[in-house]
Amino acid sequence: MFQELFSPSVQHSLDLAGIFVFAISGALLAVRKNFDVFGMAVLAEVTGLGGGLIRDLIIGAVPPAAFTDLGYFTMPLVATVLVFFLHPHVERIQGAVNVFDAAGLGLFCVTGTVKAHEYGLGLTASAALGLATAAGGGVLRDVLANEVPSLLRWDRDLYAVPAIVGATMVVVCIRFDALNGLTSVLAVVTAFVLRLLAMRFHWRAPRAYNRRSTAAEEPPGPKI
C-alpha cells in the first residue's frame, strides 16, 4: 500500500492537497453562480469532502474522516477564502488548477479503492467506491448548483473513465496480490495522465449509436 512508499505525514499532505484543489473548483462554480460567501463555503466543502463522505458512510467507517480530522474540514474553508478574495486571479490559472484536480482524481480513485477493500468489500464494489471517492464531490457540487453533473455531460472531457482505469488497476493488483507502493503510484499516475490527455485532446465518451434525438444540445460551459 501507500505506507510502503510514503510516510503518514506525506499521505496526509497529499490528501489535503487533493481536497484543496477540489474545493477550489467548488468555490469557483459558486462565484460563477453568484452565490454568497456561505454558498461558496458549502460548495467548497461538498466538492472537497463529498466523495470521501460517500465512501466512508457506505463502508461503515464512521465517523467519516472529514469529521475526525480538522485539517480535512478546514482545507475547503481556506480554498473559499482564497477564491473569495482572489477569484479573478484563480480563474486565470484555471489550467494549473485543472492539472492539480487531475492529480487529486488519480490519488483519490486509488486511495478510495484501497480503503473500500480494506473494509471488506469485493473487488468490483471497491472499484466503484474508488470512482465515487474521486468524482462524488463534483457530482454533489453540480447538483447543489442546479447543474447537470459534469460526469454525465457529453460536452465534457473524460473524467470518470480515468478514475475507473485507476481503480481497476488497483483491484487487478489486489486480485493477483501485487498491490504495493509502486503499483499504487503507477495507478495514480495512469489515471492522472489519462485525465491530462483527455483535457489536452478533448477526449469524450461516445453518445448513443445512431442517435435521433431532437433535443437541443447544451453549449459547452466553463471547465470546472
Global pTM value: 0.87
Q: So where are the chain's domains?
A: 2-201
Asked if 135 and 156 count as a contact pair (C-beta separation under 8 A), the reply is no
Q: What phi and psi values does residue 219 have, to the nearest 5 degrees?
A: -70, 150
Is 125 in contact with 59 (CB distance < 8 Å)? no
Q: By the 8 A CB rule, do 80 and 33 touch?
A: no
| Residue pLDDT, tens place only, 60-91 | 999 998 899 999 999 999 999 999 999 888 77
Q: In the predicted model, is pLDDT for residue 222 greater than 60?
A: no
Closest C-alpha among 116, 121, 110 to residue 173: 110
Judged against a pLDDT cut of 70, whether residue 215 lies above it is answered with no
How far, rounded to the nearest angstrom, does the alpha carbon of residue 189 sit from its chain's CA centroid? 14
One-letter amino acid at 151 equals L
Rounded to whole angstroms, the Cα distance separating 113 from 128 reads 8
What is the overall mean pLDDT for the chain?
Answer: 89
Residue type, 200: R
Cell output for 165: 482505469
Which amino acid is located at 193 in the chain? V
Q: Is the pLDDT of residue 160 over 70?
A: yes
What pLDDT, in 10s, does the model give residues 91-141? 787 788 888 889 999 999 999 999 999 999 999 999 999 999 999 999 999
Q: Is the pLDDT assigned to residue 3 strictly greater than 70?
A: no
Q: Which of 63, 120, 97, 112 is nearest to 223 (CA)?
A: 97
Residue 206 is which amino acid? P
Cis-peptide, bond into residue 63, ω within 30° of zero:
yes
